[in-house]
Structure 1
Amino acid sequence: MSTRYADFKLLIVDDHAHNLFTLRTLIANHLDVTVLEACSGQEAINLTHAHPDIDLIILDVQMPDMDGFQTASLLKLRKRTRDIPIIFLTAAFKSEEFQRRGFAVGAADYLLKPIEDDQLINKISTYFRLIEKERELNRTLELKVAERTRELAEARQYLANILSHMGEALLVLEPDGRIKLTNPAARRLLGYSEADLLGMSIGDVFEEDGDEQAGAFMGTWLEALIRTGALSKIEARFIARDERRMPILFSRTAVKDAAGQISDIICIAKDMTGYTRIESD
Structure 2
Amino acid sequence: MNRYAGFKLLIVDDHAHNLFTLRTLIKTHMDATVLEASSGQEAIDLTHQHPDIDLIILDVQMPEMDGFQTASMLKLRKRSRDIPIIFLTAAFKSEEFQQRGFAVGAADYLLKPIEDNQLINKISTYFRLIEKEREINRTLERKVEERTLELAEARQYLENIITHMGEALLVLASDGTIKMTNPAASRMLGYRREDLLGMPIGDVFEEEGDEAAGAFMGTWLEALIRTGALSKIEARLIASDGRRVPILFSRTAVKDGAGNISDIICIAKDMTGYVRVEQDAETTKNRTAREAL
**TM-score, with normalisation over the residues of structure 1?**
0.97
C-alpha contact (below 8 Å) 1:201/1:215 kept by paired residues: no
What is the CA distance between 1:215 and its match in structure 2? 3.9
> 78-87 or 208-217, which moves further after superposition?
208-217
What is the CA distance between 1:211 and its match in structure 2? 1.5
Task: Give the equivalent residue in structure 2 for 1:59.
Answer: 58
What is the CA distance between 1:191 and its match in structure 2? 0.4
- Alpha-carbon separation, structure 2, partners of 1:3 and 1:31: 7
Please give the per-residue CA displacement for 1:76-107, whole angstroms capped at 9, x wherever unaligned. Answer: 00011000000000000000010010000000
Task: Tell me the amino acid that sits aligned with residue 72 of structure 2.
Answer: S
What is the CA distance between 1:185 and its match in structure 2? 0.3
Rg comparison, structure with higher value: 2
Task: Give the equivalent residue in structure 2 for 1:120.
Answer: 119
Task: Give the equivalent residue in structure 2 for 1:148.
Answer: 147
Pair 1:11 & 2:7 matched: no
After TM superposition, list the pairs within 5 Å mapping 1:15-164 onto structure 2.
Answer: 15-164=14-163
> 226-235 or 3-12, which moves further after superposition?
3-12
- Alpha-carbon separation, structure 1, partners of 2:213 and 2:26: 82
- Alpha-carbon separation, structure 1, partners of 2:22 and 2:31: 14
What is the CA distance between 1:3 and its match in structure 2? 5.7
What is the CA distance between 1:274 and its match in structure 2? 1.9
- Alpha-carbon separation, structure 2, partners of 1:228 and 1:172: 18
- Alpha-carbon separation, structure 2, partners of 1:235 and 1:125: 76
Query: What SS class does the counterpart of residue 269 from structure 2 fall into?
Result: strand
Task: Give the equivalent residue in structure 2 for 1:258.
Answer: 257
Q: Which stretches of structure 1, 4 residues or more, deviate above 3 A after TM superposition? A: 276-279
Please give the per-residue CA displacement for 1:2-23, whole angstroms capped at 9, x wherever unaligned. Answer: 4611110000000000000000
Query: What SS class does the counterpart of residue 4 from structure 1 fall into?
Result: coil
Task: Give the equivalent residue in structure 1 for 2:200.
Answer: 201
Name stretches of at least 5 consecutive residues in structure 1 with no aligned partner: none
C-alpha contact (below 8 Å) 1:204/1:215 kept by paired residues: no
C-alpha contact (below 8 Å) 1:62/1:68 kept by paired residues: yes
- Alpha-carbon separation, structure 2, partners of 1:62 and 1:116: 19
- Alpha-carbon separation, structure 2, partners of 1:76 and 1:87: 13
Query: What SS class does the counterpart of residue 105 from structure 2 fall into?
Result: coil
Task: Give the equivalent residue in structure 1 for 2:291.
Answer: none
Task: Tell me the amino acid that sits aligned with residue 42 of structure 2.
Answer: E
Task: Tell me the amino acid that sits aligned with residue 38 of structure 1.
Answer: A
- Alpha-carbon separation, structure 1, partners of 2:245 and 2:19: 87
Query: What SS class does the counterpart of residue 100 from structure 2 fall into?
Result: helix
Task: Tell me the amino acid that sits aligned with residue 216 of structure 2.
Answer: F
Query: What SS class does the counterpart of residue 192 from structure 1 fall into?
Result: coil
Task: Tell me the amino acid that sits aligned with residue 203 of structure 2.
Answer: D
Pair 1:246 & 2:257 matched: no
Please give the per-residue CA displacement for 1:224-268, whole angstroms capped at 9, x wherever unaligned. Answer: 000000000000000000000010000000000111110100000
**Quick check: which one's helix share is greater?**
2
What is the CA distance between 1:213 and its match in structure 2? 2.6
- Alpha-carbon separation, structure 2, partners of 1:199 and 1:110: 64
- Alpha-carbon separation, structure 1, partners of 2:198 and 2:83: 52
- How many residue pairs match? The answer is 278
C-alpha contact (below 8 Å) 1:173/1:181 kept by paired residues: yes
Please give the per-residue CA displacement for 1:129-168, whole angstroms capped at 9, x wherever unaligned. Answer: 0000000011111111111111111011000000011000
- Alpha-carbon separation, structure 1, partners of 2:20 and 2:260: 71
Name stretches of at least 5 consecutive residues in structure 2 with no aligned partner: 283-293
- Alpha-carbon separation, structure 1, partners of 2:182 and 2:257: 26
Task: Tell me the amino acid that sits aligned with residue 142 of structure 1.
Answer: E
Query: What SS class does the counterpart of residue 79 from structure 1 fall into?
Result: coil
> 186-195 or 270-279, which moves further after superposition?
270-279
